[in-house]
Each structure stands twice: as C-alpha cells, then as structure tokens.
Structure 1
Amino acid sequence: MERFIDEYLTQLRVGKNYSPKTIESYGLDLRQFFEFLQEKKIQDLEKVDHLLVREFLSQLKQADYAKTSTARKIACIRSFFKYLCRQGYLDRNPVLGVATPKREKKLPQFLYQQEMLDLLELVDCSEKLGIRDRALLELFYSSGLRLQEVVGLTLGDLDFPRGYIRVFGKGSKERLVPLGGAAQRALQHYLQESRPYLASEVNGKPSSNVFLNYRGTRLSGRSIQRIFAKYLQQLALNRKLSPHAIRHTFATHLLENGADLRVVQELLGHVDISTTQIYTHLTREKIRAVYLNSHPRA
C-alpha cells in the first residue's frame, strides 16, 4: 500500500505540480485511511468497498473532525482510487458512491479599508527589513496573491514598465496580475535599497526570488506568516487573521468599489466563479451592518 501512496504523490508533484503543503496533507490523509484499513485487517485494496469508506467517514465524525477536513480526506481518497483504476491496479473506484459531506460556508475574514491602511503604516521603513515588509504587504494588497504565489515570485516575474506581475497559481497555471502604483513604488524601493543588502548575506549564488530573509535566501511561507502576525498584533484587532486575509481584503475592496465579479475572478485565478461569489456575501453583510447601525427603525 505504501508503494501505491508514493506513486500517487509523485504523480501529483510531477504531473500536476501540486504544492508541497498539499502533497503533505494528501499523504497524511491516505496514511490515516490505511491505518483504518489495517485495524479492519484489510490488506487487499480490492476488498475496499463503499461500506468501508462510509465507516471511515463515521469514525471521522465521531472524532469530531470539521466538515472541511472530512471533505478533503474523502476527495483525496476518491482521487487516489481513481488513479489506481487509471493505472490498471483496480477495476473499480469504491468511493464513487460515497457522498462528500456538505461544507459549512463561512464568510472569509478581511480587513476594512482603514484597518488595511493602518496596517501598512505600522511598518518602519527606516530599516532594511521594514522596507521589505512594506513591499510585501503592499504586494499582497495590490495583487490578491496566495501565500505560496508570493513565496515563489522571482525577479523575472516583475514587469514594471507594463505594470504587471506574472504569477504561477494552482496547477502551475500562469496569469498576469496588474500591480498598483503604491505596490510598484514599495517594490522598487525594496529592490533598490533593501534586497541588495539582504542578497549580499548569502554564500554562493544569490537567490532569484523577490523576497529574501536576513540570510539572503528565499523568504518562506512560515516566515511571511510570522511577519504578518507581528504587525497584526501591533494593530490590536480582536480577530484571528492570516496573510490569506489580505487576499480576501483585496477582493472585497474591489467589489465594494464597483469591480465586476468576472474581473475579480480573473485576478484571483479562480477556475469557477462560484468560488469568487463568496465575496458578494461579504459586501452584502457590510451593507446590512451599515443599515442596522444607521436606520432609526432597524
């Protein structure tokens, strides 16, 4: 069974260019499922049927797993068995008849316009790392990029004359994203004043990545999360937010200011517009909140 998992994960990494984090999650999900099969003394994958999969689902529910986690695990197992069938290892996919639990639709967290401006102003641009952090936050807000898209951004992806950046999103799909004036100025300041200083700290060939750490190597996703958390703590908001919240902020502010939903879909790199439509709920919620606070008989 371990051989099949390794083959499948290799196919995701090489054939579909899934992110390391997604591959790690899929590996954990599959190994959890196979531990369940071992408890049931199932050694042959041919003996796995929809009843066993449903029993696994029931076990997850009893363990109080979130519906989002359960849905991901079932999607992973379904995709794994589909791969085995396609490779000729199995004749049937036992997960096809198993319904995926409906996910709870939670409105994404975002920053209001003044909160976002306050966050940007917190950064001390008199320091090299502060210049970098300001460029990082301005880029997130200007482009709505995912965390890993920012991590993977290279110098060759920046096109200042045309005001665009080239982004490789999920599944290695390429898109061009406009870059606002404030973000361009912050990035150019960083590239001129801060990045050369950081790049000089690396031993050997300098990294081509845009954002570097104090050692001159690529700034990791975890480091970006820590940077965001530091400034967010200074902002003293009573909400738990991540760098992804700026992506939500980007989309929400565009729609609030009259942007077309299809344009926002394209900018975010969403394949399905239904994924983008969650942001229309955010704007409606804000309208309702303003109404309740303003109308004398609300």
Structure 2
Amino acid sequence: MRISVATEKFLTHLAVVRRLSPATVRAYRSDLAELARSRGDGPLEDLDIEALRQWQWEATSAGLSKATAARRTSAVRAFFSWAREESLIETDPSARLTAPKRGRTLPVVATASALDEVLDAAAEQAGSGDAIAVRDHAILEVLYGSGTRVSELCGLDLDDIDHDNRTLRVRGKGDKERVVPYGVPAGRALDSYIVRARPVLNARADGAAGHAVFLGARGARLGPRAVHALVSRVVAPVVGAETLGPHALRHSAATHLLDGGADLRTVQEILGHASLGTTQIYTHVSGERLREAYRLAHPRA
C-alpha cells in the first residue's frame, strides 16, 4: 500500500474513531503528505528507520524549527503505530526515531493596561453602531474574557450562551465539551452584538448561518482567519509584534488570572488543558513579570 493511501485511511481513523479536531487532522495531513512527497510516495512497507532519519535531516537542513520537527516526528510515530496495529506493516520503523528537543519559548502576553486601551478603543468604535465594529468589540472581549481558543469562539452557537450565569459551552480539542465563564464587560459587548449587530449581518445571507453566534461581513459563520486578522491588526501593535494571533489573548487571560491569584487547577479547567504541565508555562510568564517588576522597582535589585 502506498504511503498516500495509508495516510488517508489513518486520517479517517483520527477523525472518526479518535474524534480529533479538524485542525489537528489537517496538521497530520500536512506532515504525512510531506513524508510521502519526499519519499516518492512509494510502498509504505519500504520505509525503514534510515529513510525516516533522512527525511528528518532534510527538514532540519531546510531550516525547519525544532518545534515543527518534533511535531512531524510525533505524527509519523502515531501513523506507523497505527499501521502496525492494522497489520499494514510487520515492524514499526519509527520506534527508534527520536525527535529534537524543543526549546522553551514563553508565550507573548500583553499587559492588562495595554488590553484595557485596546478594548476601550474597540468599545468606542462599536458606539458608532457599525455592525462589524460591534461584532469585533464582542470578539475581543470574549476571547480575552473567557480565554477560549479561536476555533471554540468561531464554533459557538446561540444556545451555547448562558446569559444569566455568563458562561459559554465550548467544544475544544478532541471534541471535548466544557463550560467557561466570561466577565461583565464581555457580557455587555456580547449582548449588544446579538441584539444590535447580528441581525444585520444575518440578513445579508438570509439566515444561512443558522444559529452561529459570530458572523462574517456576508452573513456566514465567521472563520478563524478573520479573527486572526482582527487580533493582529488591533493587538499586535501594543506588544510590538508585526503579526499576532488570537492565542495571544488566551495567553494573556491565563497569565492575568495567575497574576490575580487564581490557582493553577482553575486556570487549567478554564483553558481546557488535558495536562497541568501545559498550563504551567504560564507560571513562568507570571514569574518573569514578577521578577521584572522587582528589578525595576526595588532599590536593591
């Protein structure tokens, strides 16, 4: 069986059996397509450890980051482990494949005061009554106020919102469902959007978006790219970055929760992390900010 044919079967397994998110399946597809391309899409059983190491070396020589190389290695291991279980191959050539160690990079976090300015400016623009400006203000408030992923935000339906308790029901990685709180400012912005702006956008597509909360300029369900462009346009300048994704607001929400005294387990639950170790990166960010404040303020620092 050719690599590409086996890959399609594996991707179906990921989506249907393991119920991984579409974004995760796309990442697997990209990594395994690169493997098939570089090895000439030959028979799966012809791949051995030396071929996989050659593939790794070529990627590293092309300037691939350690994080991306590690992700690709993980994808290949999962692929061959599945192939062995399905008896497509007799032995797993990836069993001895090692991934490069990832260097720790701290997430980009905006200060609370900087985000206050961003959100105040967005609120002022929303005051004009323009439907897109009202929507954008609600998006920024909800992303920062709830710490949700952009995919979770874009996947929200109207019945996922509990206005009385100010909570959202979101579906995260692996289609896992959780309930996250949001604050008073986010509640005001969200309610304003649903009453004032969503009907305007919804009418542009004759209601084709169904119960989707956030709609695009043409009335369809809003996609992650549009949210990325919004965050990059309004938040990136305040942290001195050329581009910045919605995850920066999630990073900022988590860090500010810890700065305010929230315990790690609570933050883990809000963010929907399967592992506490993933959440712990924010303790390093919070610690760095604490040390920097000490260095600037203490006369004996």
* Range class of TM-score, shorter chain: over 0.9
Distance across 1 between alignment mates of 2:42 and 2:5: 13
Matched residue count:
294
Asked whether the equivalents of residues 198 and 212 of structure 1 are also in contact (C-alpha less than 8 Å), the reply is yes
Q: What is the aligned partner in structure 2 of residue 91 from structure 1?
A: 90
Match of 1:261, as an amino acid?
L
Who is 1:245 aligned against?
248
The gaps in structure 2 that reach 5 residues or longer are none
- Using the size of structure 2 for normalisation, the TM-score is 0.92
Matched, 1:193 2:196: yes
SS of corresponding position for 1:194: helix
How far 1:139 moved relative to its partner?
Answer: 0.4
Q: How far is the alpha carbon of 1:206 from its aligned partner? A: 4.1
Q: Structure 2 counterpart of 1:161, which letter?
A: D
Whole-Å separation in 2 of the counterparts to 1:63 and 1:224: 31
Structure 2: distance between partners of 1:176 and 1:20: 21
Alignment-derived partner of residue 37 in structure 2: 35
Within 5 A, what are the aligned runs for 1:96-135? Answer: 96-123=95-122, 124-125=125-126, 126=128, 127-135=130-138
Task: Give 1:263 deviation, angstroms.
Answer: 0.5
1:291 is aligned, of 291, 294, 299, to 294
Query: C-alpha offsets along residues 10-29 of structure 1, whole Å, 9 cap, x if unaligned?
Result: 22222233333332332221
Matched, 1:14 2:25: no
Paired residue type of 1:31: A
2:169 to 160, 166, 171: 166
Q: For the Cα contact (< 8 Å) 2:257–2:267, is it kept in 1?
A: yes
Cα 1:297–1:206, aligned 2, differ >3 Å: closer, same or farther? closer
> CA–CA distance in 1 between the matches of 2:165 and 2:240?
39
Counterpart of 1:67 in structure 2 is 66
Q: Do the aligned residues in 2 keep the contact of 1:207 with 1:216 (CA within 8 Å)?
A: no
Contact 1:132 1:194 (8 Å CA) reproduced: yes
Q: 1:168, 1:276 → 2: CA distance? A: 18
CA distance in 2, matches of 1:105, 1:153: 32
**Runs of 4+ with deviation above 4 angstroms:** none
Q: CA RMSD in A?
A: 1.6
- Give the one of 178, 182, 202 matched to 2:181: 178
What is the 5 A alignment of 1:46-65?
Answer: 46-65=45-64
Q: How far apart are the structure 2 equivalents of 1:229 and 1:106?
A: 20
Structure 1 unpaired stretches of 5+: none
Separation (CA, whole Å) in 2 of partners of 1:128 and 1:43: 53
